[in-house]
Structure 1
Amino acid sequence: MPVSIPLTRFQGLDALELRAPDGACATLLLHGAQVVSWRPAGADEQLYLSPQSAYATGQAVRGGVPVCFPQFGSRGNLTKHGFARTKPWQLVQAEVGQDDALAVLKLMDDAATRMVWPHTFEAELSVRVAGTVLELELACENHGDAPFEFSAALHTYLRLTHSMSAALQGLDGLAYWDAAAKRSGTQGDEPLGLDGELDRIYQGVGERHAQTEGRRLMLSDGARRLQISQQGFEDAVVWNPGETLCQQMEDLPDSAWREFLCVEAAQVLRPAQLAPGQTWVGLQRLELA
């Protein structure tokens, strides 16, 4: 029988400590439905969390896996990355099963969200941890009587320990928009390394290729290999502020740019369209190889 997981506290905020029977664990805040820690069974921390992050109502937490919804970045009239990452989410389910630990949180429209985004919706984030795998599934349902569109991302901060040798493979041949350089391009055969500011949106990462459900990316960092895959999300954002921008960010130490690489499952370049009653689902899967 599944065992319920009680609420705990993390940096003064309500949280859930998901611990699978094999020892794999993840920490999930109700604030923003944000995963702030993931430790696979027998392994170290895999996510980066800034030591200068704010933990307060209405404040975004820097690191972990922020949920960007219903807007990505500044591509719209809402506050950057939308309101979901700074809102309290409701607990739907949290339990330990025979092989895993699972939590489900939801966010529904209220008077505050309708003032800035006049739509009736329900968003749901499911987080599952087991063994060497972390799965995050974001869903959105249109509860209104008119269609709407949105963009979204799981803004995953992956911790690096060997930044100068870190390399992301699997993007070869994909077109991208480089927001830092303000130009488009196509990724060559070479792995993507960390060498200054990175801000690219890669197209078609979530499309089907042969018999797979999309591309499988591989982040190499010293001896570590982390496999990254996604479904539903069509794009992938690869971001790192680089040294100059990092020093201008109040919630990051000056040298923090060497400690993480964001690889984000995203729906950005072609926003999701939802008719009344329809549901959209996107999944990101991380596996320590």
Structure 2
Amino acid sequence: MPWSVVNDGDGMPRIILTEPSGSSAEVLLYGGQVVSWKNDRREELLFMSSKAVLKPPKAIRGGIPICFPQFGNLGSLEQHGFARNRLWAMDSCASPLPPPKNQSTIDLILKSQEEDIKTWPRSEVRVEGLETLDYFDNLIKRERFTEQADAITFDGEVDRVYLSTPGKIAIIDHEKKRTLVLRKEGLPDAALWNPWDKKAKALPDFGDEDFQVMLCLDSAAVENPITLKPSEEWMGRQELSTVLSSYFSGQLDPRQVLAGK
């Protein structure tokens, strides 16, 4: 049998994965944490503190912890986030992955709880079409950066101006299973804004929870302002359209939207 579930009575069920060669691994359902990995000579390859506390809600010192949704104290949550302090479950409907080289595999899942929304508010919206572009970050004195993400998601305040953007930008709304498409001409840049929770509470004309149901995406000409001489003309336009599906629903690939298909 490639894996088995063991409960030593300490309230910390663990999954034991074994290979015919003699190598093995142990994964705790608490934190989804790998706490042991031995080679075919039964040599332990992972460090575990001799004083590690294997009892919730304490995080376990050693092994391979899962730091999510933040690393260290780089966020508003507890150190390294909450995933390593939660009880995971075996996933019987895991997403298909390439066949593993080894025989022993197990899929674990961490399901969202109602309290997570209070401590870690997050958006089910993503923006595509701005990847690899330069932008001014208004939160850091308009310092210029290059977007590294494949798509822009939101888990904190965003106030940016993306430069030399394409004529089409897609907003994929996973929760409502729809995609909004912004088409524009004569406006090379795009401003993206969401105040998130702290800034929302500081704005007198903005509801405390409004940040969860809005996203500001503006067509703009910021880097090179448009200047007209007497008798000169300029035209700019933008068009918004919606498709009643989304990338999440599997019916619409936003890259096809951006390509005009």
Bigger share in helix: 2
Using the size of structure 2 for normalisation, the TM-score is 0.44
Bigger share in strand: 1
Using the size of structure 1 for normalisation, the TM-score is 0.40
Larger RCO (alpha carbons 8 Å, 6+ apart): 1
Q: Considering only CA atoms, is the larger Rg found in Structure 1 or Structure 2? A: 2
